Structure 1
Amino acid sequence: PLLVSFPPLLPDTAQLYQQYSEAAQNIEIKRQARSDVVSVYGDSIPSPSPSPPPACRPLPPIPPVPHPHSLLQSATLWRELPGVQDSTELEKLTDDQRRLQEVRFEVVTSEASYCRSLDIVVEHFVQSKPLGALLTTQERNWLFSRLADVRAISHSFLSKLEERVETDIMQFTVCDIIARHCQRFKMVYVPYLTNQSYQDATYQRLMNENPGFRRNVERLERSPVCQRLPLRSFLVLPFQRITRIKLLVQNIVKRTTPGTAAATQAIKSLKLLEKLIQQSNDSITEMKSIESLVSLNAKVDFEGRTLPLISQSRRLVREGPLTELMDNCQKETERSVYLHLFNDYLLLSLLKEGGRFTVIDHCPVSDVRAENFGFKLHSLQKNLFRLHMTHRSPVLRTDTQSDKLRWMSALSRKNPEIDFLGVKDLPQMQCIRAIVSQQPDELSLEKADIIQVHQQSSDHWVQGIRLSDRQHGWVPESHLETIINPKVRQRNLEDALKLTTATAAV
């Protein structure tokens, strides 16, 4: 299908989704430093330079791109469309109504950029015969998954959005179209996102072990059509897009008059998107959990009572090495131990040669408790806590303060909640470089995500809760920037409360 069905409305600026996303996130980061900006779209802050590459999914430097909805680029703001400028209705709209239409229009323009990027990855990479000749069927499935299906559904979605704008350029809505497409999104996005770990592993292996694959990818990446963007930046597009649509719909909910049909429809589409993303996350977690349990099961010996490890409902919460301080009567003063904390059981093991574990004790998490421990006889000992299990209560030491805090937090099973009222004026931080979680108790963040901070360690880790969806976890402080302005922090809480209240009411 043709990408743009009515050229005068959506001019082909050749901007790719990666550039749109980078610029939009930079605008939001800049906005958090100001207290006088009430609209995401009503200011003309220039984009800062792109941030350093995100962890695990590196992007090369890309040239600074004007925000797609800045005055620097003609006819990409809704209010700059000739049909809007010439309309007598424009003067009758309030500022909030205009901002609402800008957000709705961004759904359309950003989808056009997204389709442009999908066209390139499918036509330039997926359909490349020299590249395809180097891949087995399995490698091809893991590397490109269902990108062609994602592209087809996205083009269909874009055409419906464009038709809607053409029908009523002044008062068009988009959330009912989003809601109708969520089932189709689910059919392609859940499998694609679930496949992501296989995709990453396959890409890395081929780049390291297959010189022909590396040469062909680098040759294709040098083409002007890619605009200096690497294959990996195209492969992550579906994940970035589905989270971005959710963010845009959240902005629509915040701008829509409560209790109206439009508000109900916006909240319905938001809930469907949240459900889709949650299903994707659950599918990823389940797949990783089963794989790790099968792997662990092959490396574990039980000293006493055995425990069947493989279970469909078992999820890893945290794992890692610690040091156990022995009683004075013991020959050794300390020994290395290893904890596997699952959502239902805790395993205490000794790490053996060859990466094997000997489980010396295990118990249900309902019997587990951790408490801070001050060791008076060893005043130089730091990062100690006592672990109460059913049959023993060892004193454990971690290498860093963050490890201790993370273990105590995971063992307590108490999750932080958002302080909507701002009674304590808890610190807020925004993500300035995307971060991919490496442990189950960590939180993956996109640029411009905002967290309310609940505790920080001396070695620069932060535990927080993301305001947009109330997901919690630990993040390295190096990827965050403190939001200093109290007015901005208050506005962020008000926005989060407005979303929570609106979705609870429908």
Structure 2
Amino acid sequence: NILKRTTPGSRDEDTATKAFNELKTIIKECNSSVQSMKRMEELIHLNKKINFEGKIFPLISQSRWLVKHGELLEVDTQMMSISGSKLKLPTKPVYLHLFNDCLLLSRRKDAWKFMVFVHAKIGELKVKDLSQKLQGISGFIFHLQLCEGQQLKHQILLKSHTESGKERWITAMFPSDPLEDIEQANENYDTSQVQCIKSYQAQEHDELTLEKADILHAKTITSDGWVEGIRLSDGERGWFPKTYVEEITSRSARLRNLRENIRIKCVTQKLKVDD
């Protein structure tokens, strides 16, 4: 806010920008250190709960962290070919552990244990949203393929009870670059924006903690009241309930927010060059 109040091109702007960047660097380093410890603790904990059928998979790695986990329903595709779409298709639970470099699909052995039946690298996943294409099947469906090289390893039809559940899994598996999204927002200018009206603490790995007055590019808004947003100030991305934000309906306000974001970025880059 202080930076926004300085005159463009002034010494005050340079001073405020340097202070802002130094503070941001300190916070980022502190958060990164704490985050690394938490991630390793989480991996050690998961390693005690997850078992593998057949070949052992070394789960603990310094470069690995959990991105998202949760339960979906597997739709019986064999029954689909027999019954068409007239009958209610049977489903069974399947648990997903999505890491930054791989995906594990498992069944629960009990309340706290999982047996992995297939896994694949992130770069070898393929997904197709089928929610609008499968008539007669309730819920939100997507088709997931796990490959190994060029070979199909496993495929599964997954169902979520909510639109946000489906969208959050797809975006977690195939995230776009938030900085590129913001660049596109800057280039296209008038894109959807929201402002935080009350702080929100992230509850899951793919959610974003919000502070009051945060301004975000609203990338996705689901029918069940969730928003995938990218904070303009730092490019951080995640999901949050729609009730914690309000839409910025004024076009001039949206353009002003984007101009301020571009201005801060340009000044920051200029200072880096000067240094």
2:86 maps to which residue?
Answer: none
- 3-state secondary structure, aligned to 2:268: helix
1:441 positional shift = 1.3
Map 1:116-131 → 2, pairs under 5 A: none
Q: CA 1:377/1:272 → structure 2, altered by over 3 Å: closer, same or farther?
A: closer
2:117 to 360, 363, 386: 360
- Normalising by structure 2, we get a TM-score of 0.86
1:411 positional shift = 0.8
1:334 to 91, 95, 98: 91
1:287 positional shift = 2.2
Q: Does 1:302 align with 2:69?
A: no
Once the two structures are superposed, residues 17-36 of structure 1 have per-residue CA deviations (whole angstroms, 9 ceiling, x without a partner) of: xxxxxxxxxxxxxxxxxxxx
1:144 maps to which residue?
Answer: none
Q: Gapped runs of 5+ residues in structure 1?
A: 1-246
Q: Does 1:481 align with 2:246?
A: yes
1:251 maps to which residue?
Answer: 4
Q: CA 1:449/1:377 → structure 2, altered by over 3 Å: closer, same or farther?
A: closer
Work out the CA distance in 1 between the residues paired with 2:79 and 2:223. 34
- 3-state secondary structure, aligned to 1:475: strand
2:142 maps to which residue?
Answer: 385
- 3-state secondary structure, aligned to 1:445: coil
1:269 positional shift = 2.0
Work out the CA distance in 1 between the residues paired with 2:173 and 2:199. 27
Instruction: Specify the code of the residue in structure 2 equivalent to 1:459.
Output: D
Work out the CA distance in 1 between the residues paired with 2:14 and 2:92. 59
- 3-state secondary structure, aligned to 2:58: coil
1:262 positional shift = 4.3
1:486 positional shift = 1.1
Q: CA 1:420/1:324 → structure 2, altered by over 3 Å: closer, same or farther?
A: closer
2:69 maps to which residue?
Answer: 319
2:229 maps to which residue?
Answer: 464
1:283 positional shift = 2.2
Work out the CA distance in 2 between the residues paired with 1:424 and 1:403. 29
1:326 positional shift = 2.2
CA RMSD of aligned residues (A): 2.2
Q: CA 1:377/1:318 → structure 2, altered by over 3 Å: closer, same or farther?
A: closer
Native 8 Å contact 1:415 1:472 kept in 2: no
Work out the CA distance in 2 between the residues paired with 1:402 and 1:453. 14
2:166 maps to which residue?
Answer: 404
1:369 maps to which residue?
Answer: 126
Once the two structures are superposed, residues 22-51 of structure 1 have per-residue CA deviations (whole angstroms, 9 ceiling, x without a partner) of: xxxxxxxxxxxxxxxxxxxxxxxxxxxxxx
Native 8 Å contact 1:465 1:471 kept in 2: yes
1:309 positional shift = 1.2
Native 8 Å contact 1:420 1:494 kept in 2: no
Map 1:106-185 → 2, pairs under 5 A: none
Give the greater-gyration-radius structure (CA): 1
Work out the CA distance in 2 between the residues paired with 1:371 and 1:487. 37
Once the two structures are superposed, residues 86-116 of structure 1 have per-residue CA deviations (whole angstroms, 9 ceiling, x without a partner) of: xxxxxxxxxxxxxxxxxxxxxxxxxxxxxxx
1:435 maps to which residue?
Answer: 200
Q: Does 1:394 align with 2:156?
A: yes
1:421 positional shift = 3.5
Which protein has the bigger helix share?
A: 1
Q: Gapped runs of 5+ residues in structure 2?
A: 81-88, 148-152
Instruction: Specify the code of the residue in structure 1 equivalent to 2:124.
Output: D
Work out the CA distance in 2 between the residues paired with 1:360 and 1:375. 29
Work out the CA distance in 1 between the residues paired with 2:247 and 2:132. 35
1:61 maps to which residue?
Answer: none
- 3-state secondary structure, aligned to 2:107: strand
1:89 maps to which residue?
Answer: none
Native 8 Å contact 1:369 1:411 kept in 2: no
Once the two structures are superposed, residues 171-191 of structure 1 have per-residue CA deviations (whole angstroms, 9 ceiling, x without a partner) of: xxxxxxxxxxxxxxxxxxxxx
Q: Does 1:291 align with 2:41?
A: yes
1:497 maps to which residue?
Answer: 262
Native 8 Å contact 1:420 1:497 kept in 2: no
Work out the CA distance in 2 between the residues paired with 1:316 and 1:377. 31
1:281 positional shift = 2.4
Instruction: Specify the code of the residue in structure 2 equivalent to 1:339.
Output: L
Q: CA 1:505/1:424 → structure 2, altered by over 3 Å: closer, same or farther?
A: closer
Instruction: Specify the code of the residue in structure 1 equivalent to 2:20.
Output: L
Native 8 Å contact 1:352 1:358 kept in 2: yes
Q: CA 1:325/1:424 → structure 2, altered by over 3 Å: closer, same or farther?
A: farther
1:375 positional shift = 7.8
2:176 to 414, 419, 438: 414
Instruction: Specify the code of the residue in structure 1 equivalent to 2:4.
Output: N
Q: CA 1:456/1:374 → structure 2, altered by over 3 Å: closer, same or farther?
A: closer
Once the two structures are superposed, residues 306-364 of structure 1 have per-residue CA deviations (whole angstroms, 9 ceiling, x without a partner) of: 2111112212111110011123169x932100111111111111122131100111111
